[in-house]
Amino acid sequence: MVPISILDLSPIIAGATAADALHNTLDLAQHAEKWGFRRFWLAEHHNIPGIASAATSVVIGYVAGGTRTIRVGSGGIMLPNHSPLVIAEQFGTLASLYPGRIDLGLGRAPGTDSLTMRALRRDAATAADSFPRDVQELMYYFRPAEPGQKIRAVPGTGLDVPVWLLGSSDESALLAAQLGQAFCFAHFINEHGGAEVTRAYRARFCPSPDLPAPRSSVAIFAVCAETEDEARRLARSRDLFIVRLYTGRPAPYPSVEEAERYPYNAQELAIAQHAARRSVVGTPDQVRERLLAMAADYQADELVVVTITHDFKARLRSYELLAAAFELPGATAPEEMTP
Task: Report pLDDT for 247.
Answer: 95
Please write the tens of the pLDDT for every residue from 13-33. Answer: 999 999 999 999 999 999 999
Region 265-271 average pLDDT: 96
Separation CA 216–CA 221 (nearest Å): 17
Separation CA 72–CA 169 (nearest Å): 24
Q: Which residues of 38-69 are buried (b: 16+ CB within 10 A; e: fewer)?
A: bbbbbbbbbebbbbbbbebbebbbbbbeebee
Whether 328 is in a domain gets the answer yes
CB 56 within 8 A of CB 9: no
Whether 11 is in a domain gets the answer yes
Total domain count, the chain: 1
Task: Report pLDDT for 338.
Answer: 55
Axis crossing angle, helix 312-325 with helix 228-246, rounded to the nearest 10? 120
Whether 237 is in a domain gets the answer no
CB 25 within 8 A of CB 63: yes
Region 191-208 average pLDDT: 96
Residue 228 CB neighbours (<10 A): 13
As a whole number, the mean pLDDT across the chain is: 93
**Percent of the chain whose predicted confidence (pLDDT) is above 90:** 88
CB 208 within 8 A of CB 180: yes
**Percent of the chain whose predicted confidence (pLDDT) is above 70:** 93
Separation CA 55–CA 35 (nearest Å): 27
Task: Report pLDDT for 36.
Answer: 97
- Counted residue by residue, the chain has a size of 339
The dihedral sign for the CA sequence 73, 274, 280, 203: negative
Whether 240 is in a domain gets the answer no
Strand 302-306 relative to strand 4-8, pairing: parallel
Q: pTM for this structure?
A: 0.94
**Which residue blocks in the chain are alpha helix, DSSP H?**
18-35, 56-65, 84-97, 114-119, 124-142, 170-179, 194-204, 228-246, 256-261, 266-277, 284-298, 312-325
Task: Report pLDDT for 28.
Answer: 98
Task: Report pLDDT for 1.
Answer: 78
Separation CA 135–CA 105 (nearest Å): 11
Q: Which of 209, 141, 166 is nearest to 73 (CA)?
A: 166
CB 318 within 8 A of CB 32: no
What is the CATH number for 202?
A: 3.20.20.30
For residue 6, pLDDT over 70 is answered with yes
For residue 286, pLDDT over 90 is answered with yes
Axis crossing angle, helix 284-298 with helix 312-325, rounded to the nearest 10? 70
Whether 212 is in a domain gets the answer yes
130: containing domain: 4-230+280-336
Task: Give the Å distances, CA to CA, from 314 to 14, 46, 98, 304, 317.
Answer: 15, 26, 30, 19, 5
Whether 251 is in a domain gets the answer no
Separation CA 6–CA 30 (nearest Å): 12
Task: Report pLDDT for 332.
Answer: 76
* 3-state class (DSSP) for residue 80: helix
Please write the tens of the pLDDT for every residue from 116-157. Answer: 667 676 666 666 678 999 999 999 999 999 999 999 999 999
Whether 164 is in a domain gets the answer yes
- Amino acid letter at 201? Y
Give counts: helices (H), strands (E), the chain.
Answer: 12, 9
Please write the tens of the pLDDT for every residue from 46-87. Answer: 999 999 999 999 999 999 999 999 999 999 999 988 999 999
Whether 115 is in a domain gets the answer yes
* 3-state class (DSSP) for residue 6: strand
